Amino acid sequence: DIMAVSKYNSKFVSSLSTTLQLVLEFPSTSNVSFKPVTLDSMRLLEFKLVRAYHALPPALYSQAHSHLLRMVSSLMLDGPTTSLLPKLLHSDDVSLGPWGIGLDGVEEALLEAFEPVGLDASVVWTAKSEFASFATIKATNVRVVDVSVQLFAVLFVAQSDKNRLQLLTHVNQCIKDATTNTTRASMQTNAMCSMFLITKQLSRSRTPVGKGEVLTAIQKFIHPFIADADTALRRASCEALGMLCRSEGDSVTNNLVRSIAELVKKPAKDVMPSARAGAAFTLACIQRYVGGMMSQTHLPSTVSTLHVLAQDTSSNLTAMWAMHALTITIQCSGLNFSSFATPTLMLVSSLLLTDTYVAGSHPTAYSHLGRVVNAIVGALGPELEPVSPTMHKCNAVCGELEAHSHPLVRYEAIAFKQRLIMFAPRVVQPQAIYPFLVSQLKSPYITLRGAAVTCLRQLVQTKPESCAGMIKLATILFDMLDHEHDTQLHQEIQHLITTLLDMSAGTTPSVWLRVCKSVVTASKHQDLEEDEALTSKPLAQPAKNMSDKVNVTDEDEDEEENEGSRSGGMAGTKAERNIEISYRGYTKVFAMDCVRRVISVCKSTPVAAHFDLSLARQASGLDTLVLRLHELVGMAFNAGTSVTDSLRPIGVWTLKDIVEAFAPCQDPDYEGHGLLELYQAQITSALRPAFAPDAQPQLTAVACEVLVTYVDNSFMVHTPTVLQKIMALLISPLANLRQMSYPSYSEKMVTLVQLALLGALARLYAAGNAPGHSENVTKIIPLLQSSLPLLRANWMAALRDYAMVNAQPAVPVELYKVTFHSRSTAREIGDYYADAFPLILRAASSLVGTPAWYQGRSGSSHRDDGEEQHSNDEEDKGSSTTDDTDTSLSETAPEDDFYVLLGLSLRALTNQSVPDRVSLCIHSCSYLLHSDYLTPHKFPHEECRELVTVLSKLTMHDEVAVRSATASVFLRLVSNVSRDYFSEDTDTTPSSPQSSSSSSPSLSSSNSSITQPSTRMRDMLLHDIVTVCVAPLHQYLHTGPHQVGQTAAYTTTHASTEVTDMIAIALTSLAKLSALLPPPLRARYDSTLLFTCLRATELAHGSFAPVLSYALIGLTAWARAPSGTTTTSTSSSSSSDVSHDLLVEHETTLHGAVLTVLKTFDFSKMMTGVDPFSKDSSQPLIAALAALVTSFQNTTGDITDDDIHDRVIGELSNALIGQSGKVRATAAQTVRMIVQAGATHQPETHSYQLAMKYLREMGPALALGLVSFQDYDAHESPLAQPEQRELTEDDVSFAGEAVKVLVLANALASEEHKLASLQVLIPSLVCMLRPATPAPSPIHAQLHTTAIQIILHLATNSPVGFRSIMPTLPPSYKSLLESSLRQALLAQQQAQQQAQSATQAKETAQQRTTDFDAPKPAPLKLDFSKYG
């Protein structure tokens, strides 16, 4: 690359050399007269050539330096005056002149820019922020001189000392030989500008010129201009000397300071004022460019010299330049100037008392004094004390500046207060600063108004207590905002208003609402004194009932305000101050933004009463937002329905903020109802006009989002009627959605509204399918069912448009017929699609496999009878769709839409920059993995592997939610894939839609059309799936063992939220994949699956204990025989043999794993709650242990280690007597699983004997657990009474499982032991009974129903044993059982009687129907017309 660039530069320099030779051969314009056009062309060529050389490094064209120097020196010295000097000089010295300050300079620049001179047509007008850059179009000859000066400086630095000296000599000689003063002045300016650039380049590179003749020549050339009468040349020479001192070092600096000191020692009458002024500014430039640290040794002499020059009463020029130089010196010195602060302030004070600084004269001199004081405040900063003499003198000077009438002086007074606020905030007194700043807001000078606004904002931010009583200021600022035209001042005013609002709206929201309301409604201003009184006195007692405020109209409020103004202003003084003001539209929009900000500020405050009406009523004197809810809704309603177009969207947005903030607020006067239910009419009425045909498209788009927020809120419950009206607003435009148009607006506005409607409906439908959705969404989903086919068609059309615009090359896009935009607006609607795309993608994906996915498509065979009946009913009602709608429903095939959704999901998942969008796309992928499409024909291995590859990258995502959702997608893929997906003889060639819809593929139909698949692709897919599933465990392998010694906070959070969830889903996916694979493939991956589960059991320790549960479950799934996965009858026996052989082969490994688990963990701590994971991990842990034991006894029966079973029985017993109801229920369920598994075998087998062992050991504990449900206050119990506690749903689950075990024990007991079994079972069931009076709780009633049903069953099936048990029961048990049985029998009889009565009534009704159907005589026809 370097060689290529070098070759390119050499060719470019060669062409420039040729052009240079041509330019050098131009005849002199002094000898030959050219036409203006020819002269301009020659100058333009020279300009282009010099600029090209200036853009290249000088080393590339070293051979052309002599020719270029001859040309540019001629152009520089013979041409007009350069225009570079104003841009090169330091911007902080603009007050020294010679150019004006403020807008006058802008006007002059504009006039100069449009002078009728020769212009270059190739130059394009460019707008910049600087005022001086307005005159960017200059004459060609001036532009030639500018670039010549720049190139001369570059070439001068690149020359040797000999050539430099020759160039300087030539320049000096040309200036001396100038014939006229104008020519000499132009040459001096151009030469001085080139010297300035030379010293600037040397100072930047820190390259010294040296001690030779060149340095002397440069100094001799620059030094005389210090005393020049031209201000620009004097400034340029002073700065050049300062930069020369920076590059040359201390020797040059010392000599220069010494020479200036000698100059100042001379009498003022013997030295020109310009020379003394230049000397002062040179000292300042030394401080500026050399630096305060490097020039610290010269600081005392510099300050003393500047003090002397500042007191020069003979020349104002010298005094002003000295004061400006003193300001620069203070700024560069910083804290080093602290020892000189007091004498400098004394100097300033003495100067204010002289005749030269009489009030009203010399405003520039006054401004320089103010800058000196401001620089001292900035340098000292926090070291200023409130009562120090230094601070007293500063305040005295500032007072003089405030009293001055000139705006430039007052500006420095404001700057002084701003410096105090920034650098010395503890000396700031807001009550002293605030009145002066507010008075400057009404100044006729924009500079003062802008400075006052900025200073006020800094005062509010630094001293928040100064916000008290500033509501009057907010009103003034709104008036300023309405009248100011400067954009930057507009922004500053808005920043100040929002700062005031943020500081005070949390305590006085009603006052801010009152101010904003006066702006939005353009009503009369309340007296500002009354507004101030509102902030100082407590508010009136709020209304006792919020419903009293509901029917208050705007007219009533206006009458109250008018009455208040009349009562407070009888003399007419206040009435005169109420002025009619009509604000502009943008001011009203900003006022509504402030209303929204008030809501946001109140939400961020810790005051809960802002959104709780009960607390607000109790907090007397506290200004809360909830008491002004009616005003908020009224303002939002008025803005949303305003005649001002720009105000409507912000009004609707305010309604959204109100709904989000006040939705949880309940009405204390109407229990169970939300406070916003009182304002449903206003909210819906404000949104309804937004969906009118003539509404603004922006308003409709905003209203869609607000409407969804209003509906999808879990705290607000809407009636079905309200929801139907709301949904009608969103659904009604669907019929003509594709034909929508806005003739008065751009075409992209149509796309905005269409996508907003589709996105809103997609969000509602997706929320209905998500877990934990609100009750309103549950009611809305049935309302969307009839429109789902049309929604599906429009959603897919929008997604296809998005895909073509963003993912396809230009040629297919031109051939594609777009639906929701035009080709002319394709580049402008990207943001609209980007906002709606994730929601539409998720909603459309959730339809895959549902009836709405197939309804309306041609050749669809997936409509059930219910749908056909519904369709027939709709046709009978006359509500059939139009031909266009039918066409849109069947315009694409289901398989094509499926691949569009899959492709867009995968493309979106590759961009992981937005976590929320990635999560939505992951959920879309999860919906797409429907069993209808996870077949070898519809979802080949190639597409599946692409999906797995994309998802595998998300398993390493930074967001935990993304990783968990990705793991869930893999689990869904493994769970829903067809059982023949990984078979050996499956055809993965995608079938046509007709063949795929007619019948699902089956491996048993092996005809000639099925071809052998690519086993390599299938093996690669399996390898990728297994790798992704094992990846979380690898992460656990690295974090688990090495992080055991870390803090408990890390291990608890990290293991429970991140690692544990990932491993749980991964092990579950591996277990399902193991059961899915055919025997040959399963044998290939057995080692990996087994090692993964066993490794998890070994590493699951300490706070990582939850992993053990899923590892044991994985072992259980692996140990089960995969006979269900066989696809042919010939392979079933071989599959069973393979599974048995594998289990026998790894029997020792499994046996060791179980022993390791039981010896490693202390389950007793987990059951008693000592372990931090006892609530989460003990339940699946004991279930996994039992499932593992059950699996072993079902397969081999060879694991007979009594120690293992004794340990499991002991841990289950501990769980049954624990305090956690969920753990007790799980333990009882585990016992039932073990007993049921053993009961299926013969009595002589080991599995049956093992089940009996668990039954004997666990039966008494289960019965004792049932006895604990007895109500001990009403009955006496012969057993030990545990502590009474409240029952839960987990207790009901435990009782059900325990009863099932005891009933199963009675069924398995022999004849001689059945009586003993009943003696345990019946008393346990009696403990669960409850009489009807008093009315039992729902949980007790459920226990009673379960117990009485089983007792009746036992009494019916075992009458002899039941009768023999009854006499042995205690009297209290017997009476309770008899009353419960009597009550149950009576309930059965009543139920039978009711059933018989219902049957008789039905038969009677049918008989009456038959009688009505019999022939009836014709009715009589009577004519009463004759009796009229």
- Where does residue 1380 rank: exposed (0-12), middle (13-18), buried (19+ CB within 10 A)? buried
Question: Can you tell me the mean pLDDT for 1395-1406?
Answer: 74
Predicted local confidence at residue 619, as pLDDT: 84
Please compute Rg for the chain using Cα positions.
Answer: 46
Buried b (16+ CB within 10 A) or exposed e, 219-251: bebbbebbbbebbbbbbbbbbbbbbbbbbbeee
Q: How far apart are CA 10 and CA 1375, in angstroms?
A: 116
Distances (CA, A) of 626 to 516, 607, 615: 17, 11, 10
What is the average pLDDT value for the chain, to the nearest integer? 74
149-158, 908-917, 1403-1412: least confident range: 1403-1412
With vertex at residue 588, the alpha carbon angle to CA 586 and CA 591, rounded to the nearest 5 degrees, is 115
3-state SS assignment for residue 243:
helix
Predicted local confidence at residue 812, as pLDDT: 59
Question: Can you tell me the mean pLDDT for 1032-1058?
Answer: 45
Q: What is the pLDDT of residues 710-747, one digit of tens each?
A: 887 766 667 778 888 888 888 888 888 888 888 888 88
Contact 369, 323 (CB under 8 A): yes
Give the residue ranges of DSSP H helices in 1161-1269: 1163-1168, 1174-1195, 1202-1216, 1221-1239, 1246-1267
Q: What is the pLDDT of residues 93-105, one digit of tens each?
A: 988 888 765 544 4
Q: How confident is the model at residue 304 (pLDDT cuts 50, 70, 90)?
A: very high
Q: How confident is the model at residue 29 (pLDDT cuts 50, 70, 90)?
A: low
Among candidate residues 974, 947, 951, 948, the one with its CA nearest the CA of residue 964:
951
Q: What is the pLDDT of residues 2-19, one digit of tens each?
A: 444 455 667 778 888 888
Question: Can you tell me the mean pLDDT for 655-671?
Answer: 87
Maximum average pLDDT range among 431-445, 857-871, 1104-1118: 431-445
Q: What is the pLDDT of residues 1219-1260, one digit of tens each?
A: 677 777 777 877 887 787 777 777 777 777 777 887 788 778
Q: What is the pLDDT of residues 597-645, one digit of tens each?
A: 999 999 998 888 898 888 998 888 888 999 999 999 999 999 988 888 8
With vertex at residue 233, the alpha carbon angle to CA 231 and CA 236, rounded to the nearest 5 degrees, is 110
End-to-end CA distance of the chain: 115
Higher pLDDT, 337 or 1406: 337
Residue 531 C-alpha from the chain's centroid:
38
Question: Can you tell me the mean pLDDT for 1374-1390?
Answer: 78
Contact 1309, 1316 (CB under 8 A): yes
Q: What is the pLDDT of residues 878-902, one digit of tens each?
A: 444 445 555 777 788 888 888 888 8
Reduced 3-state DSSP string for 168-218: HHHHHHHHHCCCCHHHHHHHHHHHHHHHHHHHHHHHHHCCCCCCCHHHHHH
Task: Tell me: pLDDT of 380 over 90.
Answer: no
Instruction: Provide DSSP, 60-99.
Output: GGGGGHHHHHHHHHHHHHHS---S-HHHHS-GGGGGGSSS
Structure token pair of residue 956: 């390493």
Length of the chain: 1428
Angle formed by the axes of helices 509-520 and 585-604, nearest 10°: 160
Q: How far apart are CA 1034 and CA 55, in angstroms?
A: 57
pTM score above 0.85: no
197 CB neighbour count, 10 Å cutoff: 21
166-175, 316-325, 678-687: least confident range: 678-687
Q: What is the pLDDT of residues 965-1008, one digit of tens each?
A: 788 887 888 777 776 777 655 444 444 433 333 333 332 333 33
